[in-house]
């Protein structure tokens, strides 16, 4: 990976709705960064997520700010507005094209949960995705990557195109955090402290009609 005698920068790209960002996301990013010696992990909150058309997603600015708050203390974590500012439906390939344009010399690693990885690889243009980045699927409790239907394609790819890694078992999900917040149960320690306070300040996830009480 030497170019002009210099090591190429390695950038992790972690896409997500981050509604809200939680410690599962942060541990996964940190684990992958350590394992692949990444120089930086860029968190990219989605604009309008196409997989989540079934529920109301919090405003992009709230999700962006929570992601900034959660990552602010880590010098190797940053947040990109790329997907939010694009203003149309987000596909992984769009995110990666934009990252490639912004960081033409970097080696990109797209970090995603095993469940989401299976989706991306099923629906999107493989050839271009693998030209743009390597893929790292992190396993989370309750999700096993079913590669049966992918095996045929995986066989033709370089061995490092997709790596599955296990992260410490954190059974945290944004859905569970939203449910807890809606029921007035604590989200302390599931999300960073600043995010707990932001959720409360902005009355996020409070059922309609209850906010303002």
Query: Which residues of this chain interact with ligand ATP, rule CB under 6 A?
Result: 16-18, 24-25, 28, 112-113, 115-116, 138, 140, 167, 170, 172-175
Closer CB to ligand ATP, 207 or 212, in the complex: 207
Residue with tokens 């010696």: 37
Distances (CA, A) of 67 to 8, 20, 120: 27, 8, 22
In the complex, the smallest distance separating the C-beta of residue 7 from ligand ATP, rounded to whole angstroms, is: 27
In the complex, the smallest distance separating the C-beta of residue 117 from ligand ATP, rounded to whole angstroms, is: 7
Closer CB to ligand ATP, 186 or 212, in the complex: 186
Q: Give the CA radius of gyration of the chain.
A: 17
Closer CB to ligand ATP, 46 or 126, in the complex: 46
Closer CB to ligand ATP, 24 or 192, in the complex: 24
Q: What is the number of the residue whose Cβ is closest to ligand ATP?
A: 113
In the complex, the smallest distance separating the C-beta of residue 24 from ligand ATP, rounded to whole angstroms, is: 2
């Amino acid at each position: 990976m030497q170019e002009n005698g210099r090591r190429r920068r390695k950038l992790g790209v972690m896409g997500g709705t981050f509604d809200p960002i939680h410690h599962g996301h942060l541990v996964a990013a940190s684990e992958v960064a350590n394992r692949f010696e990444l120089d930086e992990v860029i968190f990219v909150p989605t604009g309008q997520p196409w997989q989540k058309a079934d529920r109301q997603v919090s405003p992009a600015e709230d999700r962006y700010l929570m992601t900034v708050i959660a990552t602010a203390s880590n010098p190797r974590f940053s947040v990109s507005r790329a997907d939010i500012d694009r203003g149309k439906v987000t596909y992984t390939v769009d995110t990666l094209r934009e990252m490639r344009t912004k960081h033409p010399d970097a080696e990109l690693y797209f970090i995603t949960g095993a469940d989401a990885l299976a989706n991306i690889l099923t629906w999107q243009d493989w050839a271009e995705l693998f030209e743009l980045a390597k893929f790292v699927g992190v396993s989370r409790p309750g999700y096993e990557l079913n590669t049966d239907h992918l095996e045929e394609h995986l066989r033709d790819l370089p061995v490092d195109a997709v790596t599955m890694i296990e992260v410490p078992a954190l059974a945290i999900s944004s859905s569970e955090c939203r449910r807890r917040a809606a029921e007035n149960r604590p989200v302390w320690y599931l999300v960073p402290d600043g995010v707990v306070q932001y959720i409360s300040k902005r009355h996020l996830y409070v059922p309609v009609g209850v906010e303002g009480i």
